[in-house]
Amino acid sequence: MRTLPLLLVVPMLAVTACSEISDTISDGITDRANSVASNALEQGIREQLADAGIELDGDPDCSTDLSQDGTTLAGTADCAAMTVDGQDATATFDGTLSSSGCSGTVTIAVEGRTVVDSQEVPDCSVSL
């Protein structure tokens, strides 16, 4: 009689453990993808600002909200930075990132003035 409850509990624990492992793996992939995307966008933003004659003091700090579909990431990113002369710089990205490039809308503003409004981030790619 005592084996019946045990037989019901063991499969339930196995399902719960598998779900937790799957969630952990998914979170790890998402964290890695967001980190790779942030790094690629930060570099691209730095280059676009340099092309506009604006130098940053340090690296941009980007936060992303992306979903992964195979080797492509899609979604948004918001970045903040400071120029060497103390002005606030912000960047927004809405599009896709892949090994073939980063395309979508990227807008970069310094002190609220738009300095870049483009459909791609140059020299930007991600490998997942």
Q: Which of 32, 31, 40 is nearest to 59 (CA)?
A: 40
d(CA 128, CA 10): 36
- How many other C-beta atoms are found inside a 10 Å radius of the C-beta of residue 81? 23
Q: Please determine, for residue 114, whether its predicted confidence score (pLDDT) is greater than 90.
A: yes
41-88 tens-digit pLDDT: 888 888 888 888 999 998 888 888 988 888 889 999 999 999 999 999
Q: DSSP assignment of 23-70, as one string?
A: HHHHHHHHHHHHHHHHHHHHHHHHHHHHHTT--BSS--EEEEEEEEET
pLDDT of residue 27: 44
- How many other C-beta atoms are found inside a 10 Å radius of the C-beta of residue 73? 24
pLDDT of residue 2: 52
Q: Which of 101, 126, 104 is nearest to 29 (CA)?
A: 126
- How many other C-beta atoms are found inside a 10 Å radius of the C-beta of residue 101? 17
1-24 tens-digit pLDDT: 555 454 444 444 444 443 444 343
pLDDT of residue 21: 40
